[in-house]
């Protein structure tokens, strides 16, 4: 059985909802074990034990959130040259375009020699005021469904040996 590891960081709930929806979609594949961990709990051993990855995080100040960046900082060198060729996808919750976080995460994945299995999925919350940015987020049913589909597709690809 192959393992899909979903690592997420969230302060206001959007990225957590995205990760949960992707996990629900991935769990429809009986031949793939799905592990979902908050970024602060995920360790290099978790990455090494999985065949594929889904990273879910918010964009903060045009960059990957600090909590997700800390996960990558902590795990980067222990996993360097040990994850080559494994598939990954990303989910980004953003108040505007999310492109800064996408670029940063893609560069990290390139350093690990991971292979993008899907285009980045960005959910825009349109939060632009201090109050809206700090408020708990509630994603639409359509956004949740899109995250589920990505999780299911990634798990299906692992199960079928496409990646």
Contact 52, 87 (CB under 8 A): yes
Per the structure, how many domains does the chain have? Answer: 1
| 10-55 per-position pLDDT tens digit | 999 999 999 999 999 999 999 999 999 999 999 999 999 999 999 9
Q: Mean pLDDT for the chain?
A: 97
Other Cβ atoms within 10 Å of 135 Cβ, number: 13
Note the pLDDT of residue 48.
98
Contact 21, 144 (CB under 8 A): yes
pLDDT at 66 over 90: yes
| 7-20 per-position pLDDT tens digit | 999 999 999 999 99
Can you tell me the distance from the alpha carbon of 151 to that of 46, in angstroms, rounded to the nearest whole number? 18
DSSP helix/strand/coil, 56: strand
Can you tell me the distance from the alpha carbon of 28 to that of 32, in angstroms, rounded to the nearest whole number? 9
pLDDT at 133 over 90: no
Note the pLDDT of residue 54.
98
Q: Domain with 115 in it: what CATH number?
A: 3.40.50.360
Contact 14, 65 (CB under 8 A): no
Boundaries of domain holding 121: 2-160
Range with the lowest mean pLDDT among 26-30, 86-90, 114-118, 126-130?
126-130
User: Cα–chain-centroid distance for residue 129?
Assistant: 25
Q: Average the pLDDT over 144-162 and give the result.
A: 97
| 97-110 per-position pLDDT tens digit | 999 999 999 999 99
């Amino acid at each position: 059985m192959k393992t899909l590891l979903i690592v997420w960081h969230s302060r206001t709930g959007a990225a957590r909802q995205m990760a949960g929806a992707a996990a629900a979609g991935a769990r429809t594949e009986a031949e793939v074990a799905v592990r979902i961990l908050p970024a602060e709990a995920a360790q290099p051993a978790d990455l090494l034990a999985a065949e594929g990855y889904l990273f879910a995080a918010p964009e903060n100040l045009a960059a990957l959130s600090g909590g997700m960046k800390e996960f990558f900082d902590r795990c980067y060198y222990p996993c360097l040259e040990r994850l080559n060729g494994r598939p990954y996808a990303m989910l980004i919750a953003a108040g505007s375009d999310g492109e800064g976080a996408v670029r940063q995460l893609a560069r990290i994945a390139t350093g690990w020699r991971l292979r993008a299995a899907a285009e980045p999925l960005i959910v825009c919350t349109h939060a632009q005021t201090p109050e809206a940015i700090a408020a708990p987020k509630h994603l639409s049913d359509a956004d949740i469904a899109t995250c589920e589909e990505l999780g299911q597709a990634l798990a299906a690809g692992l199960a079928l040996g496409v990646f």
